[in-house]
Structure 1
Amino acid sequence: MTPENREETPLLLRPGGSAPRGRRVFLAAFAAALGPLSFGFALGYSSPAIPSLQRSAPPAPRLDDSAASWFGAVVTLSAAAGGVLGGWLVDHAGRKLTLLLCTAPFVAGFALITAAQDVWMLLGGRLLTGLACGVASLVAPVYISEIAYPAVRGLLGSCVQLMVVIGILLAYLAGWVLEWRWLAVLGCGPPTLMLLLMCCMPETPRFLLTQHKHQEARATVRFLWGSDEGWEEPPVRDEHQGFQLALLRHPGIYKPFVIGVSLMAFQQLSGVNAIMFYAETIFEEAKFKDSSLASVIMGTIQVLFTGIAALIMDRVGRRPLLALSGVVMVFSTSAFGTYFKLTQSGSSNSSHVDLLTPISMEPQDASLGLAWLAVGSMCLFIAGFALGWGPIPWLLMSEIFPLHIKGVATGVCVLTNWLMAFLVTKEFTSLMEALRPYGAFWLASAFCICSVLFTLFCIPETKGKTLEQITAHFEGR
């Protein structure tokens, strides 16, 4: 084999090599995915905890409305910082050690909440768990994509988002029977289990090769896949050159950069946080006896359809699922906007309260029917989002970047995602005042249309390709 031909050899299989069948790769992926499970639990924790904290009596800390809003929002800000920190750690400390390190702020944050005697201790605990969320949301997809072979990379990569929504649903369900302190104690469980399991798991072969540990990399492949038959060690560039702005002139760098950042932005601009914000109000309009059931129903739909996406990801492909997901969200957000158009007062000087509570202009039966239209469109949106735009941006983020810029590039993507989540959540009420609620949701529908067009014209299919083949595609090789 000539050096020129060796340069093009994929990481995983030589021609004629047998497909890997090792099962330990699934255990390693599960261990890493406990980070996203912890991340989901931390996100979902505020929903049942805030009402409990608002009802608490001294000497327990009590949240007023202002403190409650910060209790929910501060996670997104510290998670954005965690994304930047994770981008640095994943390149300098390695994928495995970064996963181990992020368990510390998870456990410390929930422990601080458990022991909280005042509001500042509560907010401090949320800051720590948010920091861990940012790191985990970056490093878990990277670790899983680098240990998986192409035939299962979509399945395992989609499990990151699946574990996030399972964590959210777990927090909702546990919140029915546990008060906020014991709920925080439960939050210490997943990161502790991840710490124990990850201690037994190896570093990724790709990172070991950047450290010139060739024998260890091959031993890792044998451990995870059961055999290194057919595995060809790729040539390693000088991975320590670091990221420089001049690199953005190269198509192999700026193309995945634009795709990764755009995916994260479109995910948040789809309106998913606004839909979740309205969930309980809409279920009340539909005469549900227990409107808090809305959160559990939404969480169950997310888990179900994210699981379906994981199972079919490596058969259908990333692009078709993204496009289908976007089309479903276009129709559901349009229907949701139409609901508000039909039920809201047309007066331009309505109060802020009017914006949050639909005002029926129809007889009671018709109003109830419209509320069920909103429930249906809301459930359809969550199903469509979970099928594509929920899991796939995180999966593609871990697949498309060359190894020597992966830490910085994934850090920028995670930072974009969390900052957009904060801005959309924080400014959505202002947007509703300017455009009315129906206008705000129709704007979300327009962004969903843009996401479908972006998928069709800009995103390459990565199904069944090695990470080296994906990099070669962007470089034009």
Structure 2
Amino acid sequence: MDIQDERRRLLEDESGDQNPTGLLSEQDAYLSKVKNRKLYLATLASVLGPMSFGFVLGYSSPAIPELMKISNPRLRLDDEEASWFGSIVTVGAAVGGLLGGWMVERIGRKLSLMLCALPFVFGFTIIIAAQNIWMFYVGRLLTGLASGVTSLVVPLYISETAHEKVRGMLGSCVQLMVVLGIMGVYLAGLFMDWRWLAICCSLPPTLLLVSMCFMPETPRYLLSRRKRREAEEVLRFLRGPDAPVEWECARIEEAFEEQGSSFHLFDLKDPSIYKPLMIGVMLMAFQQMTGINAIMFYAENIFKQANFQNSALASVIVALIQVVFTAIAALIMDKAGRKILLTISGVAMMISTMTFGIYFYLMSKPPTTSSPLDIQTAAGAEPHADLTWLALASMAIFISGFAIGWGPIPWLIMSEVIPSRVRGFASAAVVLTNWGMAFIVTKTFQNMMDGLTSAGTFWLFSCMCALNIVFTIVVIPETKGKTLEQIEAIFRGTSGP
């Protein structure tokens, strides 16, 4: 009896009289018996990693202003040191992405996730105990390293434990927890100094380490290591006692047999490998080229023009918008689909960045300005005060659009389309692209402002958003409702199992 016959027999045995006419497919019959409670628990434990990641990203915003005014000269930051305090995280995260790709293949998804909690905690502990600025740098580098590992491992863990009916919603929780972490540290920063804030930031990774002790390894990783009995036990934990998990095991094993078990660099010539890899890489590149960092760069100045004198409170408002729309994306992801949300997101960002360019163009005339720094001075001039609503509306639309599509979905699709046997290598390449592009865009932003003016820079971002839309429509496959094995079969040019 081959695997296909075994799967049908298992489904018939389990379904009994519930499907006498064969109206339900094998997949639907299986999913009708699945219970999600423990799957949600496993996801909740794993997304403490992205929450820790969000705390790292958000920590610099409330901490830097205080550290630039602190009385202790050994800890006081100047402008250059503050810049490194904020940006060195991206360097650590890029290294963490490479390290995470090696870890997930060698020691598994669960243990990788548990171990990445340690540099989070150690990094914040060094910041708490800092006696000089170099201790700040080391602490931020360690927390960045942990963030890079987390950004790779958690999407893989969720995609390999979740089933197709809820994978989109649960996968979107990665970005949701990141923005929740950012908002949480912004809120805490209103009431805590930098040292107590670092103590607060060390709590989520501590909870991550403890809670993951009680969660399972992913069934696909176990099956890739020929541990079928352990994989079935994990699936019973994740799917509930009534689901015929032997059927799902057989389905995954069949996919492994079709694609082979080992990966070599020569395999990159295979369209089933390089096509999903290029989709993941391009998604991350386009995500950073939308201009999200530029919008955040101008956020504080725009809020000041609108008489929001408390910039810390303004940051909380921005983070709240991100949380609300990322939550909306998570709720509708498995109904609307990935492509439609990416398209809507791209259109919203294209319109808002185009409008931002118009805003800065109008702000620069009159008076005539000779440098981008003068634009910010001109932006506060009385003749243009009535244009503040345009900037605020553009920023709100952009952040909402990013949060509903191009924020969470690239990470979700990365975890869905990359084949099992190349997940470590390909995911590392995709995460490295994300952090590398974030570093490049951030470092060249002022050069673009100098060469293209503020208006020209935002119009360039608008063109990038237009390319995002074309790329989404033409290249990206819809993965809604498909198993990971069916998605792999699309790139192999075969029918799904």
- The alignment's TM-score, normalised by the length of structure 1, stands at 0.95
8 Å CA contact retained: 1:345, 1:359: no
State the 1:349 CA deviation: 6.8
Q: 1:22-73 CA deviation, whole Å, 9 max, x = no partner? A: 3100010011100000000000000000001011112661101110000000
State the 1:81 CA deviation: 0.6
Show the counterpart of 2:385: 368
- Counterpart Cα distance in 2 of 1:103 and 1:324: 35
SS state at 1:325 partner: helix
The residue type equivalent to 1:290 in the other structure is N
Show the counterpart of 1:394: 411
State the 1:288 CA deviation: 1.9
- Counterpart Cα distance in 1 of 2:308 and 2:28: 59
Show the counterpart of 2:360: 340
- 2:263 aligned with 1:242: yes
User: Relative to structure 1, is the Cα distance of residues 453 and 346 closer, same or farther in structure 2, using a 3 angstrom cutoff?
Assistant: farther
Show the counterpart of 1:327: 347
- 2:249 aligned with 1:229: no
The residue type equivalent to 1:114 in the other structure is I
State the percentage of identical aligned residues.
54
User: Relative to structure 1, is the Cα distance of residues 180 and 6 closer, same or farther in structure 2, using a 3 angstrom cutoff?
Assistant: same
User: Relative to structure 1, is the Cα distance of residues 125 and 368 closer, same or farther in structure 2, using a 3 angstrom cutoff?
Assistant: same
Q: Is there any run of 5+ residues in structure 1 with no aligned partner, and where? A: none
Partner residue of 2:45 out of 20, 23, 31:
31
- 2:402 aligned with 1:381: no
- The alignment's TM-score, normalised by the length of structure 2, stands at 0.91
- Counterpart Cα distance in 2 of 1:269 and 1:63: 30
User: Relative to structure 1, is the Cα distance of residues 349 and 28 closer, same or farther in structure 2, using a 3 angstrom cutoff?
Assistant: same
User: Relative to structure 1, is the Cα distance of residues 401 and 58 closer, same or farther in structure 2, using a 3 angstrom cutoff?
Assistant: same
8 Å CA contact retained: 2:371, 2:453: no
- Counterpart Cα distance in 1 of 2:423 and 2:367: 51
- Counterpart Cα distance in 1 of 2:112 and 2:378: 46
State the 1:16 CA deviation: 3.4
- Counterpart Cα distance in 2 of 1:62 and 1:265: 35
- 2:287 aligned with 1:271: no
User: Relative to structure 1, is the Cα distance of residues 323 and 286 closer, same or farther in structure 2, using a 3 angstrom cutoff?
Assistant: same
Q: 1:82-111 CA deviation, whole Å, 9 max, x = no partner? A: 000000101111000000000000000000
- Counterpart Cα distance in 2 of 1:73 and 1:13: 50
8 Å CA contact retained: 1:18, 1:229: no
The residue type equivalent to 1:131 in the other structure is L
Note the aligned Cα RMSD (angstroms): 2.1
Q: 1:137-158 CA deviation, whole Å, 9 max, x = no partner? A: 0000000010001110001000
The residue type equivalent to 1:461 in the other structure is E
State the 1:258 CA deviation: 1.1
- 2:468 aligned with 1:451: yes
- Counterpart Cα distance in 1 of 2:359 and 2:103: 46
Task: Summarize the alignment of residues 234-313 of structure 1 with structure 2, pairs less than 5 Å apart.
Answer: 234-235=252-253, 236-237=256-257, 241-244=262-265, 246-313=266-333
State the 1:5 CA deviation: 7.3
The residue type equivalent to 1:268 in the other structure is Q
Task: With a CA cutoff of 8 Å and minimum separation of 6, indicate the structure with the bigger relative contact order.
Answer: 1
- Counterpart Cα distance in 1 of 2:167 and 2:361: 43
Q: Is there any run of 5+ residues in structure 2 with no aligned partner, and where? A: 12-24
User: Relative to structure 1, is the Cα distance of residues 290 and 412 closer, same or farther in structure 2, using a 3 angstrom cutoff?
Assistant: same
Q: 1:265-308 CA deviation, whole Å, 9 max, x = no partner? A: 01000000100010010111122232332211110000000000
8 Å CA contact retained: 2:50, 2:150: yes
Show the counterpart of 1:126: 140
